[in-house]
Amino acid sequence: MPYILAYLLILLDISILPSILEPFIVWSLGYLIIISNLYKKDPLDPRIWLFLGVGILLINGFSGILYVPSNINEQRIIIYVMLTIFSFHLGFGKLENANYVILLRRRLHNVFNSYSSYSNKIHIFLGLLGIIGSLMICFEMFVLLGVSMDDGGERRRQFQELFPLMVLTPIGTILLGGSFPSIFSVFCGGSKTNILLGLVNILALALSSMAIAGKQGILFVTLILAYIYFFHKCYRIKIKIPVYVKYCIFAFIYLFVLYISFLTIGRQNVTHEGQLLENGTFSKEFAYMAQKNLPSSIQNNFAEFFGYYGNQFPYVAERWSIENFEEKYGYFCLPRVLGVFTFVERQVIKIFPFYNVIYPDDRVATIKNQSKGYFGNANWGTIAFLNIKYFGILGGLIAFFFVGKISRKFYNHFFRSPNYITFQLNYINCAGMFYFTMFYFTQETGPFFYLVILLIFELYFQKQNISFYKKNPHGKYSYRHSRI
């Protein structure tokens, strides 16, 4: 199904059908559209990940399952999001080769070979850095600062209040950048030591999330597993991993669900099963269907997920009305490019305090304004809002056009030189598009340094022409940089 048709069907579903059909039916039809468009799509194509994220937000937000106050002008944000998506596709362009999946499949056998001893040493080092980073975060949060261990909501509040005083946690988030290549080494030819370190780093990301009562580490791991799984299914590339790794992954997924359930109780002040379906956030019909058909043990998780990934666009629509974006941000403003790289921006502010004069911090005023609204300040607002904030209303569309250009560069680079590093760079490309639902992928410190590590590897090994893999059965090295 062409992307333009898929987006049009979703718009039709959320704009016309809610006045005719029950919210649950509209919501179900929306997800059928999403699933049908995912069928036989290339999982390495960042456009499909963008469609997945935006589709989920639109269906959850405007199908009628969530209560949206009647005074909110939802049409404005929907139109702006569609213009943003169009701008990205315009920058990304059209894939000319219809058989690129088949052609690429023939050249990917080197991506999952056994690592060379040099590569194994690098990944052992990176894996240890990731584990140390996680331990530093947990040690400072639980031992030095003594934050709550059993109340996720209180722990999150304490983290936000104490963040300016933290020393080990910021360093730990930088070191977590080593966890990502370590996790990939589990599936891409690492030694037994690297596989074990990769599995430990899955827990390291989860523990670092638990320490700050967040979920980003869980989401990172989930996206990595989904990226590799769907790549394996689409390209039919055999991935050799020990049986115990599969059992460990299933165990991790189970533990992740338990952790999210535990976190939901603390952050949402949940007292009984199914409570989040009863608080007036969802339509009565949808809440009834969910309670009737879902196990009671997962009802709160279900409600939190579809509420969180549903309130984003209504939140921006409401904030647009309260703050008047046309007046506050304008159609064009002085580009705040460093806003996309939060870690770098923070260091610039420390060195050049007048940066805040050029780009003032309006968080206090924003929170005050948000108290006037229905949705509060518990949502990120998506990249569409950040584009307005950093570049202006029209400037944001132009900025996302160049994001599309950069995304295509990453995709083409992997296609022309399929190897272990470009495979991960393209993962960042795809995950970054799914992160449209929240913020730019590079605004998280760990993923930002993960990108930096990969770019350093790519530039260095391309220059030195060093292989990441052992000799193949014919006695020749499987060099990383093959060209069409």
DSSP for 109-146, written as a single string: GGGGSPBPHHHHHHHHHHHHHHHHHHHHHHIIIIIIS-
Residue 83 confidence class, pLDDT cut points 50, 70, 90: very high
Question: Structure tokens of 281?
Answer: 């956030």
* Contact status, residue 382 vs residue 437, Cβ threshold 8 Å: yes
First-to-last alpha carbon distance for the chain, in angstroms, is 29
CA atoms in the 13 A half-sphere facing the CB of 242: 14
C-alpha distances out from residue 146 to 138, 159, 210, Å: 10, 11, 14
| Model pLDDT, residue 88 | 95
Mean residue pLDDT of the chain comes to 81
CA atoms in the 13 A half-sphere facing the CB of 93: 11
CA atoms in the 13 A half-sphere facing the CB of 83: 17
pLDDT digits (tens, 9 = 90+) for 420-444: 788 889 999 999 999 888 888 898 8
Task: List beta partners, residue 471.
Answer: 477
Question: Structure tokens of 314?
Answer: 């209504």
Give me the count of residues in the chain.
Answer: 484
Residue 233 confidence class, pLDDT cut points 50, 70, 90: confident
d(CA 386, CA 373): 19
The phi-psi region of residue 294 (left if phi > 0; otherwise alpha if psi is between -120 and 50; otherwise beta) is beta
Q: Average the pLDDT over 68-94 and give the result.
A: 90
Q: Does pLDDT of 478 surpass 50?
A: no
Which one is predicted more confidently, 226 or 471?
Answer: 226
pLDDT digits (tens, 9 = 90+) for 85-136: 999 999 999 876 555 555 666 566 555 666 667 777 888 898 999 999 999 9
Q: Average the pLDDT over 354-367 and give the result.
A: 72
Report the percent of the chain where pLDDT is more than 90: 20
d(CA 382, CA 82): 13
Which one is predicted more confidently, 427 or 213?
Answer: 427
Q: Which residues of 339-353 are buried (b: 16+ CB within 10 A; e: fewer)?
A: bbbbbebeeeeeeee
Residue 331 confidence class, pLDDT cut points 50, 70, 90: very high
Taking the CA atoms of residue 302, residue 304, residue 307 and residue 309 in that order, the dihedral angle to the nearest 10 degrees is -90
